[in-house]
Structure 1
Amino acid sequence: MINVCVACGTSYLQDEIEHCKICEDERQFVPKSGQQWLSLETLRASHSNKWQQHLPQLLSLQTVPRFAINQRAFLLQTPHGNVLWDCIANLDDASKTLISALGGLHAIAISHPHYYSTMQDWAAAFNAPIYLHADDSEWIMRDSPHIQLFAEDEFEILPTVKLIRLGGHFAGGCVLHWQHENGILLSGDIVQVTPGADGVSFMWSYPNMLPLSATTVEKIIQRLAKIKFERIYGAFEHREITFNAQRILLRSGEKYLSCLT
């Protein structure tokens, strides 16, 4: 039986559960009430996924009522196949039906371990590879034949879809760059879109408010200055910048560095 951590949504085999390694790391947290677990069957019975269309070829899905970290995942529809970016724990029947009707999944790619959740079940349902950076392999809590590790700083999934390892929040932390329209960056929270959707920030631990170093942020900014993107879609609902995103990101990076110095 598969159980998921209520705090972060990471999935474990029931017989192997001792504690949630993801939550016990300082980049997440163990709730004051302690660690709790939920079976996938119970989660599916009590929750569903809502969908939102952002662009004709870009959809997001998010579990309601909110569950665990409450991130959203994205479905990219490209001429070369569909990609699921990041993952949520609840794989409900409606999501299976919708994704299948849209052509299934060519690949799954995940920004960092906080969003690994039930990636193994999504991959099995659609017979899709999961692309993860090798630097984060220690955080894989359930093995799967679908997991494919890559070690490069840039990894092309499809002709217009590339993963870029930025590090920072996690050593293997990645963003996804899609050469669609004027360029789209799907950032998870490796680059966090701020609540006003007019800036971004960078943290080593968001819940514990531990920042990244100036050197690390400088490297992230330099990498992202070399690619073209007009839009950024972050991990959480309403956290997207749909105009001048690259300029806003570079300006935010300068502000972050000025605060540190």
Structure 2
Amino acid sequence: MSSSKRVVVSATGEQLPVCRTCGVQYAAPRADCPICLDERQYVGWEGQRWTTLAELRAAGHRGRVEEEGPAVVGVGAVPSVGVGQRALLIRSPSGNVLWDCVGYLDDELGAEIEALGGISAIAVSHPHFYGVMTEWGRAFDAPVYINEADRDWVARPDPLIEYWTGDTRPIAPGMTLINAGTHFAGGTVLHWADDPEGGGALFSGDIFMVVMDRRWVSFMYSIPNFIPERPSTVRRALELVEPFEFERIYGGFWGRVVRADGSAAVRRSADRYLRFVEDGDH
């Protein structure tokens, strides 16, 4: 993207409905949010409520851009939107990749990202983090990578969305998507082999959930409703990431980062998880 190009949120995008509970934008008004009706999410206690990007901006929401790690910039909103996740701008010499998405975008936030080099591609881990991904993709003319298994959850389809299949998919030099399959069938993590520290990094969203004790991750089918992931699914995920080495793990929320020994952290976390959900005697 040219540095002289002004990022503009489309007039259509400003007015399309955004679910207040999950922050996902839909292509047209509707009565309900299927993502929130699913047992992995929830309908807000006040019932289904909607907003728009224009309403969020008018209410005082603004972008938040802060460093989260070497060549990794967190992108979110203040106050937060939906479930409160932040996206991550991976600043690579071959082109920036936006990992995950948020339920907010305005011209000022877009200009900040443009000043950091723009976005060459977007990849999203699972439906709870779709946010306004179509609007982000259009603003930067960037493909949006979604695993085929989660196609039916996409709330605002667009030709920019690329559905991928298989266990892995390279999307840029040194960057590989992995269909770990926890949380959602299309649940995806991203491995960055060329991070500046040289040890590799894994971007996991909620697929491998970095917990409060940031030496560990966990594996949940439903996070808000505390439904654990199936052991067979966790084992498959572990097998798929085993060939990839990484020091850092970037979770889905501000500050949720495993800063060292990430590959071992996933292995020991999976061992602990499986021991507790299978044995019955701890």
| TM-score normalised over the length of structure 1 | 0.97
List, as ranges, runs of 4+ consecutive aligned residues in structure 1 with deviation greater than 2 Å: none
SS of corresponding position for 2:202: strand
Of 184, 197, 208, the match for 2:214: 197
Write out aligned runs for 1:153-164 (5 A): 153-164=167-178
Of 224, 227, 237, the match for 2:244: 227
Give the aligned partner of residue 86 of structure 2. 72
SS of corresponding position for 1:11: coil
Q: Can you list the C-alpha shifts for 1:121-150, whole angstroms capped at 9, x where unaligned?
A: 001110001011000000011111211111
Give the aligned partner of residue 10 of structure 1. 24
Root-mean-square deviation (CA, aligned residues, Å) is 1.1
Q: Can you list the C-alpha shifts for 1:201-236, whole angstroms capped at 9, x where unaligned?
A: 001000111111111111112222221000001001
Give the aligned partner of residue 208 of structure 1. 225
Give the aligned partner of residue 12 of structure 2. none
Cα–Cα, structure 1 residues 77 and 249, in superposed 2: closer, same or farther, change >3 Å?
same
Amino acid at match of 2:165: A
| Alpha-carbon offset, residue 94 of structure 1 | 2.4
Q: Which structure has the highest strand share of the two?
A: 1
Q: Can you list the C-alpha shifts for 1:9-32, whole angstroms capped at 9, x where unaligned?
A: 011234x31210100001100112
Of 184, 202, 206, the match for 2:201: 184
Of 175, 179, 199, the match for 2:189: 175
Q: Distance in 2 between matches of 1:56 and 1:115?
A: 23
Of 130, 153, 157, the match for 1:139: 153
Q: How many residues align structurally? A: 260
Contact 1:197 1:238 (C-alpha < 8 Å) held by counterparts:
no
SS of corresponding position for 1:19: coil
Does residue 255 of structure 1 match 2:265? Answer: no
Q: Can you list the C-alpha shifts for 1:148-172, whole angstroms capped at 9, x where unaligned?
A: 1111210001111110001021001
> What 5-or-longer segments of structure 1 have no aligned partner?
none
Contact 2:74 2:89 (C-alpha < 8 Å) held by counterparts:
yes
| Alpha-carbon offset, residue 185 of structure 1 | 0.3
Q: Can you list the C-alpha shifts for 1:18-49, whole angstroms capped at 9, x where unaligned?
A: 21010000110011210100111011222112
Contact 2:64 2:78 (C-alpha < 8 Å) held by counterparts:
yes
Does residue 103 of structure 1 match 2:121? Answer: no
SS of corresponding position for 1:162: strand
SS of corresponding position for 2:163: strand
Amino acid at match of 2:264: R
> What 5-or-longer segments of structure 2 have no aligned partner?
1-14
Q: Distance in 1 between matches of 2:83 and 2:61?
A: 14
Does residue 217 of structure 1 match 2:234? Answer: yes
Identity of aligned residues (%): 42
SS of corresponding position for 2:255: coil
Give the aligned partner of residue 40 of structure 1. 53
Amino acid at match of 1:22: I
Give the aligned partner of residue 130 of structure 2. 116
Q: Distance in 2 between matches of 1:185 and 1:226?
A: 12
| Alpha-carbon offset, residue 92 of structure 1 | 2.1
Contact 2:81 2:102 (C-alpha < 8 Å) held by counterparts:
no
Give the aligned partner of residue 49 of structure 1. 63
| Alpha-carbon offset, residue 61 of structure 1 | 1.3
Q: Distance in 2 between matches of 1:55 and 1:249?
A: 19
Q: Distance in 1 between matches of 2:125 and 2:259?
A: 20
Give the aligned partner of residue 58 of structure 1. 72
Of 36, 41, 46, the match for 1:28: 41
Amino acid at match of 1:41: A
Cα–Cα, structure 1 residues 178 and 42, in superposed 2: closer, same or farther, change >3 Å?
same
Give the aligned partner of residue 4 of structure 2. none
| Alpha-carbon offset, residue 238 of structure 1 | 1.6
